[in-house]
Structure 1
Amino acid sequence: MEMLDAVFVYQMHEIKELLWHQRLHSHEYGQFELHYFVSGSGTFTNGPRRYSIFPGALFVTPGETLHSIEADEQESLTYYATLIDSPEEISLIMKLNEKNPITIGTKWRFFFEEVRDKGLSQNPELRLSACHQIFGFLYNLQAGSAAEDPVEENVCLERAIRYMQRHVFDKLTLDQIASHVQLDASYFIRLFKKRMNTTPMKYYTNLQLEAARSLLACSNLSVKEIAGKLQFCSEFHFSKRFKQSTGTSPSLYRKTHLQLLGN
């Protein structure tokens, strides 16, 4: 059992990015991929079947099954994708594949955030923990176990994150975000950090850097233009934060990912 990849795709809309995700591809036998959509619309091709994408939809795709994602022109897709290698669980995956799309609602964002963070950790125990969380979740789905209603605190955080996503190219302040969810700023920080293991403004910056990665790989905007578009105070500050987040400079990231995209 091994988590091979866990990604968050934010507002997929650049032409090169769209073409990359629209390609038909598959994974190896014994692997499977989850796609959990939290916003936007489009179509998901899974083998011979074609489904509509909607917020809260989960797709389970077995290895060797050709699949692709196509976003509607006016709707930018945001989703989590998780790729796991676990040949011993093929039976479960094939059963869930027949239930596509599985409607689970948008409240599972926090679950997939945690799985992604653990799955990308350098700690092997945390990576294994992420796999077990995924399988516990999938077995509950197969058993028809109803998920608990979201608690009020999670509803507030969901509203805050949606607000941050909508304004990723603006310069939001903590007070603006807290005001949007009608919470005191200090209480909002404590609540957010307890659930997300980071502060609201660090999370907002990470969203901006997710958008930056997309723009670097899939647009012709210069590093300076991307820094300005995301409201960083300077190209230097943007490059510094980007390298802290990814371990590489924006220009090297662009060069590497353009190669991966076949450009």
Structure 2
Amino acid sequence: MIDAVGNPQSLLVLGGTSDIALATAEKYAAQRPLRIVLAARPSERLDAAAERLRRTGSTVTTVPFDARKPETHGEVIEKAFAEGDVDVTLVAFGIQGDNEQGWTDVEAAREVAEVNYVAPMTLGVRLAERLRKQGHGRLVAISSPAAERARRSNFVYGSSKAGMDAFYTGLTYALADSGVKVTVVRPNFVHTKLTQGMKPAPMAQTPEQVAEVIVDAVRRGKEQVWAPAQMRWVMMVLRHLPRVIFRRLPF
């Protein structure tokens, strides 16, 4: 279980090659070694991620996981919890996709929806059941400010994140009396593999900066956080701009 100062003994990462998730795992492991399960598609990247975390002194196992194969997700969760309770779970997978292709090509749109919304939702149902049974745990879902209002430049991605965000926000209420806490994290632009080659937005973050926000939010039991914190106020303004003004903004 999580100790008195907020350090977990075990961590599950769904999206085991995520730069943000790996930075979060390293931050936890800097306090003390822990048991880590990385769930992702088998690859050299996954092997490298596992070896990177083993250097912290942690015990690391990997579980094959493909977001677009929902028929395997029950087995993924069973394997992830096979060695005991999980204190912190990070739902940290997703794809950006090409927005122009996404709204003109059915298969491209389907891929974004399945990876960013359908898989996190169905996995969230399984995780909620498992965590309720163990009676404790923290569930962290990495969302995006793009979920808060659709923009011309990324509304396909934003729509998928909006669904995911709403589901995990709802879980904060549904699990409130179970001993399980849910945190929805909305990072601004982060320098990761997902955004490689894209022009950085203002207030861009590093994975390590977002990891700081996640660890602090879990420790303090926060249900929603932005990274950086100022994005909360930026999005509050953008959400309330009249459509005639919002649609003219250069993004």
> If each structure's strand is expressed as a fraction of its own residues, which one has the higher value?
1
Larger Rg: 1
Task: Give TM-score, length-normalised by structure 2.
Answer: 0.31
Task: Give TM-score, length-normalised by structure 1.
Answer: 0.30
